[in-house]
Amino acid sequence: MAAGGPFREALKRMTAADPAVAGPLQYLEAQVRWRRIEIAFWLATLLPFVVTPAYLQLASQIAITALFALSLDLILGYAGIVSLGHAAYFGVGAYTAGLLSKHFWGEPLSGLAAAALLSGLVGYATSHIIVRFRHLALIMLTLGLGLLLHEAANSAHFLTGGADGLQGVRIRPLLETFRFDLYGRAAYAYSLAVLFLVFLVARRLIHSPFGLALRAIRENAMRMPAIGAPSRAHLRKIYTISAVMAGIAGALLTHTTSTVSLEVLSFQRSADVLVILILGGAGRLYGGILGAIIYMVARDQFSGINPQYWYFWIGLLLIAVVMFLPNGILGGLAKITARWRGRRP
Amino acid sequence: MLASLAGVLFDGFAYGMLLFLLSVGLSVTLGMMNFVNLAHCSFAMIGGYVTLTLTNSLGWPFLASLPAAFLAAAAASVVLERTLYRRLYRASDLDQCLFTIGVVFVSVAVAAWIYGTIQQSISTPPYLRGSVQFMGISFAVYRLFLVAFALVITVVLVALLEYTRFGAQVRAAVDNPRMARGLGIDVDRAFMVTFALGGGLAGLGGALAIEVVGLDPGFAFTYLVYVLIVVAVGGLGSIGGSFLAAAVLGISDMAGKYYFPWLGAFLIYLVMVGLLMWRPAGLFGKR
């Protein structure tokens, strides 16, 4: 691999976005500012409360999926760690929240913290394995670890209920006031608030020197250690953070649906979240969120058709995205706006 | 006890040979062309459904349908390679992964649309049914046939790639495509033929698998994991490695199901993760 090429290219690409910025730090500062469209987007997330109150349950599912996709984006989009088994951490979070409410107490916020902690621990433990591998071995290892955990949960019937799912999950009302009911008001408010808070953390991370280092590792994994950056430590850190976020998403699912099934650990879930992220645009903060909105709404609308045929369209979509939209919908949009802006003056 | 152990060993080995047939094509294409083709088992599924249609609906003899399965899967893989895959040879691992997963989704849906989601079975000819007794152990004839078939394929493949002009061209094209082109080797054609060979062998594996594991549209996903394990553990591009990995996997899977049924597939995944951590390039991998 020609050293230097990709890294310099990436920096050039990043700084070329705005000719006024001189170096990476200025670039980061320019990125940190909130743009108007971002503020408008987050205000729009409140619309379902008034416009589509019948769909709040779906909206909360979208928020949870978006959070999960965001967690994958941190490692895949920014650090370049391809994972086919990210559902492992989602599942750890979901089961932690479920088991806690079944055996000890059902207060959601402490359950969320416990899920975050445990999935973070699992993430930290596995990160030591993950960062040592790349390419096919990495893909196979993430797949293998995911399947391993799925089988373990399936076998540990006494703990998880196996294929029947975890029975007897009881969640207390949020802050002892808001009950998680069929209408999903509390569920959506809760998921959205958590999504927003985690998003703020992710946004801060990505726009820090640490985030820039991650992108540099993604662009050229050999160069970073050569210039003295502890690239494996960086990767371990972001992998653990990503696992924490995935665990939080899993716990949210348990809290808002009061059930945990084996499906939270399945390969299907890992593959779905990958599709969602790629569709929206990996390596972009809003990619996972946009992908989750489109995917979940489409699945809800087409839920009448046979799931077999749903996956036919998902397959075609994947093929089309890889061939024609390599950076997802957001990447395509960014290209169009850049071209439009370039032509205007 | 000893007899049952030998029985499990034999059944596991036969099952491993099935996995070998399914995965050897992927080992060759992935190892040689560096293309992560997760849709490999879709080619196997094509072979399976061709054999199913020919024998069950059109009344072909089982053995005559096997070459047809090979040819159909090879043809399908060439069409896919020429039209789509070749554009992705230089793409990232992730893009290749996603693209071929998309192909799997589509193929599963199409198979379900044509054949329905129920599990299909096949009626093998009488001379492949039943079992023979040897030293107190009974060997299923079909499994003996599988083992013999896989051994023949291994010998033919090794001979083809190691001792023929074509094999030398393919290896040259893989080791150094520019140099091979400079020497007048048609690298594109070598890759195409290799890909067809890989797809065809998968089709053959799919056709032979129906009798043992049945066939339903989920096949392309269910066996993908096994095939990937064989390839990753055996080492890319290594036929001997695939053979050994498939045998170990088949035997340990069968033994696990027989002696530790509560563990399910846990043991297999544990072995795979452990082996990959120990040797990321596989047991016989060069890279």
In the 8-state DSSP scheme, what is residue B133?
Answer: E
Phi-psi region of A76 (alpha: psi -120 to 50; beta: other; left: phi over 0): alpha
What is the pLDDT at residue B62?
81
What the block records as the tokens of A342 is: 């370039």
Rounded CA-CA distance B46/B199 in Å is 10
Q: Give the minimum alpha-carbon distance from A248 to chain B in angstroms, rounded to a whole number.
A: 26
Instruction: Using the predicted structure, report yes or no on whether residue A219 has a pLDDT greater than 50.
Output: yes
What is the pLDDT at residue A299?
83
Cα angle A254, A260, A265; round to 5: 105
Q: What are phi and psi of B139, to 5 degrees?
A: -110, 125
Q: With CB atoms and an 8 Å threshold, state whether B93 touches A82.
A: yes
Residue A14: which pLDDT band, with cuts at 50, 70 and 90? low
Element (H, E) at A107: none
For the domain bounded by B2-115+133-278, which CATH number is listed? 1.10.3470
Determine, yes or no, domain membership for A215: yes
Q: With CB atoms and an 8 Å threshold, state whether A318 touches B99.
A: yes
Residue A139 has its nearest CB partner, among B97, B117, B266, at B97
Q: Which of A163, A154, A265 is nearest to B261 (CA)?
A: A154
Determine, yes or no, domain membership for A23: no
The domain limits of chain B are: 2-115+133-278
What the block records as the tokens of A19 is: 């000719």
User: Diameter of chain A by CA atoms?
Assistant: 68
Residue A3: which pLDDT band, with cuts at 50, 70 and 90? very low
Which residues on chain B are in Cβ contact (under 8 Å) with A132?
280
Q: Which of A145, A166, A147 is nearest to A101 (CA)?
A: A166
**Residues A60 and A131 sit within 8 Å (Cβ to Cβ):** no
Q: What is the mean pLDDT of chain A?
A: 83
Determine, yes or no, domain membership for A324: yes
Determine, yes or no, domain membership for A149: yes
For chain A, give the percent of residues with pLDDT over 70.
90
The one-letter amino acid at B187: V
Determine, yes or no, domain membership for A40: no
Does A326 touch chain B if contact means CB atoms closer than 8 Å?
yes
CA-CA distances (angstroms) from residue A44 to A51, A175, A188, B32? 10, 25, 14, 51
User: Least CA distance to B92: which residue of chain A?
Assistant: A135
pLDDT in tens, A267-281: 888 988 998 998 888
**Residues A236 and A127 sit within 8 Å (Cβ to Cβ):** yes
What is the pLDDT at residue A2?
40
pLDDT in tens, A66-90: 999 999 999 998 888 888 889 999 9
CA-CA distances (angstroms) from residue A59 to A54, A56, A182, A224? 10, 5, 13, 41
Q: With CB atoms and an 8 Å threshold, state whether B264 touches A137.
A: no
Rounded CA-CA distance A174/A239 in Å is 29
What is the pLDDT at residue B76?
92
Cα angle B116, A146, A88; round to 5: 110
Best B273, B278, B279, B287 residue to mutate vs chain A (most A CBs within 10 Å): B273
Which residues on chain A are in Cβ contact (under 8 Å) with B107?
315
Which residues on chain B are in Cβ contact (under 8 Å) with A144?
229, 269, 272-273, 276
Looking at the DSSP bridge assignments, the partners of residue B134 are B137
- ipTM greater than cut 0.85: no
Best A76, A218, A309, A318 residue to mutate vs chain B (most B CBs within 10 Å): A318
What is the pLDDT at residue A96?
92
What is the pLDDT at residue A22?
63
Total count of domains within chain A: 1
What is the pLDDT at residue B172?
84
Q: With CB atoms and an 8 Å threshold, state whether B232 touches A76.
A: no
Looking at the DSSP bridge assignments, the partners of residue B8 are none
What is the pLDDT at residue A279?
87
Determine, yes or no, domain membership for A218: yes
pLDDT in tens, A142-190: 988 898 898 888 887 777 777 777 777 777 777 767 777 767 788 888 9
Which residues on chain B are in Cβ contact (under 8 Å) with A129?
277
Q: With CB atoms and an 8 Å threshold, state whether B269 touches A76.
A: no
Which residues in chain B show pLDDT less than 50?
Answer: 287
Q: A331 is in which domain, residue-wise?
A: 52-343
Instruction: Using the predicted structure, report yes or no on whether residue A125 has a pLDDT greater than 80.
Output: yes
